[in-house]
Copies of this chain bind each other. A is one copy, B any other.
Amino acid sequence: MRQFIVLGHRAPTTPEFDLDDLAGGAGRLDVLCRCVNAAFFLSHGIRDSVRLFLVLQDELTIRLEGSELRYLNPDERNIGSMLRNGIEAAGEAIGHQEVESSPGIYGSSRDLKTILEAIDSDAYIQLHERGEPIVDAEPTSDSVFVLADHESFREPESALLAEHGVDRIRVGPTPIHANHAIAVTHNFLDTDGYTTY
């Protein structure tokens, strides 16, 4: 199971936003839509063994489960509408419980700390421009990859990750968008570290 956590620093936590304005009024939800695209889509299907957590303003979390997803198309507008339903569901969730908005999409009022404790991994990886090269770090499909959206990791986020003994990894010499980093990471794992084609 490949797991990704993406931190959406300005993404909306209520569903009152316009699908025509994902990159503006919706707090750059477009960035997270592209991460969903990169995490799940193959040429002719969905990656079953992928789980993605989108943590929005450290207030609520949308979990997407590859093996259960239905009705999800790869375009930003469709993904945006599915996430909007997930955000609405999160608003109805009690405590840390999840509410399913459509098959494989769950909203909850959980923050990053709660998510890290729930996953309880011993292989967290922060994808970070100042990390160790991915070819040296050799992450596996059991790793949990944590990425920031278009804004850098904030100090409390990095501190929280450090408490969980996170490794920092970079995927190249050039800082790239989060969705591109997910595509590259999938490729690294798909090819067993660039050995299997």
- Contacts from A to B (Cβ < 8 Å): 19-20, 22-23, 30-31, 34, 37-38, 41-44, 73-78, 129, 133-136, 150, 170-177, 179-180, 183-184, 186-187, 190-191, 194, 196-197
Contacts and interface: CB of A to CB of B under 8 A. Distances in A.
Nearest to A38: B180
A102 B139 CA distance: 43
Given A30-B77, A44-B175, 16 more contacts: A20-B20, A23-B74, A23-B75, A30-B74, A34-B74, A37-B177, A37-B179, A42-B176, A43-B174, A171-B187, A172-B187, A172-B190, A172-B197, A173-B191, A180-B183, A180-B187
A173 B196 contact: yes
Nearest to A180: B183
A77 to B, nearest CB: 7
B42 A177 contact: yes
Given A170-B197, A197-B135, A177 B77 contact: no
A74 B176 CA distance: 12
Contacts of A194: 135, 194
A86 to B, nearest CB: 19
A41 B173 contact: no
Nearest to A193: B194
Contacts of A180: 38, 41, 183, 186-187
Per CB-CB distance, the 3 closest pairs between chain A and chain B, nearest first, are A133-B197, A43-B175, A23-B75
A189 to B, nearest CB: 10
A76 B190 contact: no
Contacts of A22: 75, 77
